[in-house]
Amino acid sequence: MRKHENFHWGGYKYAPESVGFSLNGKHINFPEEVRSRLAYLAVCGENKKLLIELKRALRAEEKKPRVVGKCICFFKKDSNEFYYTQQLRYSPDDLHDALRCYKEWKRYIQSKNCMLETGYEVTEGEFNPYGESKAKRKTITSVVDLTRCRSINIIREPIFG
């Protein structure tokens, strides 16, 4: 299946944590436990076992679904900006959990009177290098429209980086 593909690995012999892998010139981002197992085989010089394990690990990563979860998002009033939280991530197949996440997120927004603070502040003022600088800080808040909601897909990072 992968006979035409060109695998390459490189790194220092006495530092298995530095060994990296690539396929047809593209770097492969394996999880740390998979990468360390493959690096051990590369450092030991067991190239046939390494090639078999490398192909097996690639097939296993390719079979994993791209979508790892879904989130409910609510839109900002009169805008296409939306707000979601990954703490309320649910499985795409579980409708009961999706309804629970929707109700919990909506209840939280209602408890804040539909006003959500964004993750940044705006600082305005004048800079004085010889004395105190007076700055005004304000936190940006947005009004959320509870009638407009949607579910969004959360996808995992690709292994080729």
CB proximity list for 7: less than 8 A, separation 6 or greater? 21, 22, 23, 51, 54
Residue 149 has pLDDT above 90, yes or no: yes
- Where does the pLDDT of residue 7 fall: very low under 50, low under 70, confident under 90, or very high at 90 and above? confident
- Where does the pLDDT of residue 137 fall: very low under 50, low under 70, confident under 90, or very high at 90 and above? confident
Q: Which whole number is the average pLDDT over 3-21?
A: 85
Residue 2 has pLDDT above 60, yes or no: no
Residue 102's DSSP bridge partners are none
pTM, to two decimals: 0.65
pLDDT tens digits, 66-117: 899 999 999 999 999 999 999 999 999 999 999 999 999 999 999 999 998 8
pLDDT tens digits, 22-42: 998 899 988 889 999 999 999
CB proximity list for 140: less than 8 A, separation 6 or greater? 117, 118, 120, 121, 122
What is the per-residue pLDDT for 13?
Answer: 82
What is the per-residue pLDDT for 151?
Answer: 94
